[in-house]
Structure 1
Amino acid sequence: MSLSLYGQRFGKLMAIGPDTVGAITVNGTKRKRRYWRCRCDCGKLTVVSTFHLRSGHTKSCGCLRTKNPKRVNTRRLDYGESSKTYVINCYKRHARNIKVEFNLTREECINLFSKNCNYCGSPPTNKVEKKGLYGIFIYNGIDRIDSRRGYKKDNCVSCCKICNGMKRDMAIKDFYTQLQKIQEFTKNTNCGGAT
C-alpha cells in the first residue's frame, strides 16, 4: 500500500498510517478503497478513506461540526413534516405537468390530507414512508371537484385512493350518477352479497 499520504495534513487531520482496504462497487465494477488512520488536532483518532481525505470531504474527526454551530442543523423537522412536504410537492409537480394552477397553502393541503373522504367517508389510508424522509405520513388525497380547474380551495375536497381512481376526470354530477348506477345494479342483482 502506498504511503504517499503519510504525514500529510487534511484540514484538522494528520495522516499517520494506512489502515484497511475495503471494496466498493461502482457501476458494477469492484474497486478497492484505501483507508488511513488519522489523528485530529483535538486528539481523537479516526479512520478516513483516501478519497475523502484528498477530495476535502472529511476535514476532522467530527469535532468541526460541534464547534461550528453554523454548520450544524440544530432545527430538526417534527416527525412526518418532511413526508408532508414530499406529498405537497408531488401535487404541485402534477399540477405543473397537467398545466393547472396550484393555489393551496400548506395548511390547506394538510387540512385536506387529514379529513375523511368527501365521497365515501373513508379515513386517511395513503402512506408515505420513504428513505431520506423523517417519519411516516398517512393521508387522504386531494380531488379537484371540477377537473378542468386547478387546485384552489373552493375546488378541492379530501378523497380516498379508490374514489379518486373511480372519479378520475369525471364531472361531479357524472360521478354521482355512476355511483347511483353501481348502487342500483348491486341492489337489483344481489351482486357481492348486497341485500
Structure 2
Amino acid sequence: MQSTEPTICTIDGCEKPVKRKALCYGHYMKQWRYGDPLHVPFKPKHDLLGERFGALVVAEYIPAKRSEGGSLWLCRCDCGRVTRVRTGDLRRGSAQSCGGAHHRYQDVIGIGGAHDRVKRMHGSASQHRCVDCGGLAAHWSYDHRDENERIDDKRGPYSLDPAHYEARCVPCHKRFDLDYLARIA
C-alpha cells in the first residue's frame, strides 16, 4: 500500500519537504502561530518612509528581529552614510545622525581646535600633496571660503568646517595667505 501523503509542501511555489499537515516547516509554523500558512510579517503601525529626523531621512523598513531589539529603519544621513535605527530611537530623538564623529563638532572651539579637527579627519598635512605646486605639504591652509568664518584676534581667520582646509607646502601657504590679505585690503 502506497502513502498518499505529499512529500513536497502543498503551498504553490514552495519546493521544501513536508514537516506536518502537508506543509513545510516554515508554512506549518505560520499556520500554527497565526492560523494562516501564508501569514505576512508585521508591518509598522506608522509609516516613517521619507520622514526626516535631524540629519536622517528614513529610506526603508526592516522587519523586526528579536536579536536586534525590534523593528529597524534604514536611514540615509545628510553626510551620505546609511545607518540602521530603531523606531523608538527615531521617535525619541535619540538618533539624529549616523553617529559619525563629523556630526559631533562643537561651535565653541578656537583656531587650534579647528586645526586639530582637520588633522583628525584628514590626517597630517605631510601625508598629502600641496594643492598649488604638487610638492609635499606641511600645513593645513584655510581656503577663506566659509560663509561662517571665525576670526582669532591673534592668528586671523579660520573655519570650523574641515572641508574648508587644503594641504599646502610652507611657501605656497605663505603666498596664498598674502594674496588673500592683498585682495581684501
TM-score with structure 1 setting the length: 0.30
The structure carrying a bigger helix percent of its residues is 1
